[in-house]
Amino acid sequence: MAAESPHDITRRLRSLFEGMLVADDHAESVYFVLDPETGQPVAPVPNWLLDDDGVHEAADLVLMTPDENSDSLQLLCRARAIEPSVFAFAYYEAHHAKPAEGTLCLLEVESIKSGLTLASGEDCCVANRLLKVIGAICRTVNADREVLAEACDRALHVRPQSPVCVGVDPDGLSIRARFGIVRIPFDIEPGNAEQALSLVADILAHAKDRP
């Protein structure tokens, strides 16, 4: 695999929502989402890995995404429990619902390995600059679910039943379908919120006009 820049890794992370959390000899499948405020993954962590304060201090947890293969991203992490009142908690539940087991944690990424590339978590896990318009964009996109389904079909050749827009970042929209999260990509990466809103308007307009 060719070397990747931190920005390349950031873009890969934005498109991924599940992986394997590995600790010692234990591995389990997890769903995750990137916290818009920090760019760090949020995922359930088994309670036995956390101390009484809800912290796993050692940077020895590994999140492998999308799975355990040589092409996966490998994120070396610490973990810290988050409160239900923080935005990242609600953002996770919008994507994946409440986890059945474990404690929802922010995974503080020390480093990321991608093939021959080793990058710092600080360089790859960056805040979502569209944070302030996530709610407005989701409400706009969800105003007409038939148009949203048409937009999915147009972009992905998949027409999910009852799709819901649950997130947005500079690479596109995250849509929750019955079979998981799908992505409607932007044609270009918006530099600010106004450009993102314009790109979303174009996506919806093209979906409405599709014969």
CATH 3.20.180.10 residue ranges of the chain are 131-209
pLDDT (0 to 100) of residue 210: 63
Contact 177, 167 (CB under 8 A): no
Assigned token pair, 91:
């953002």
pLDDT reading at 204 higher than 90:
yes
Nearest to 43 by CA among 23, 53, 29, 59: 29
| CA pseudo-torsion sign 190, 194, 198, 203 | positive
> What phi, psi does 121 have (nearest 5°)?
-60, -35
Can you give the pTM of this predicted structure? 0.94
- The segment(s) of the chain belonging to CATH 2.30.110.10 are 6-124
Torsion from C-alpha of 93, 49, 120, 10, nearest 10 degrees = -20
CATH for 131-209 is 3.20.180.10
The string of pLDDT tens digits covering residues 68-118 is 777 899 999 999 999 999 999 999 999 999 999 999 999 999 999 998 899
Cβ-proximal residues to 25 (8 Å cutoff; 6+ apart), any chain: none
Return the CATH number of the domain spanning residue range 6-124. 2.30.110.10
Confidence tier at 209 by pLDDT (50, 70, 90): confident
Per-residue pLDDT band at 67 (split at 50, 70, 90): confident
Structure tokens at 22: 């590995």
Contacts of 133 (CB under 8 A, 6+ apart): 168, 193, 196, 197
A 10 A CB-CB count for 95 gives 20
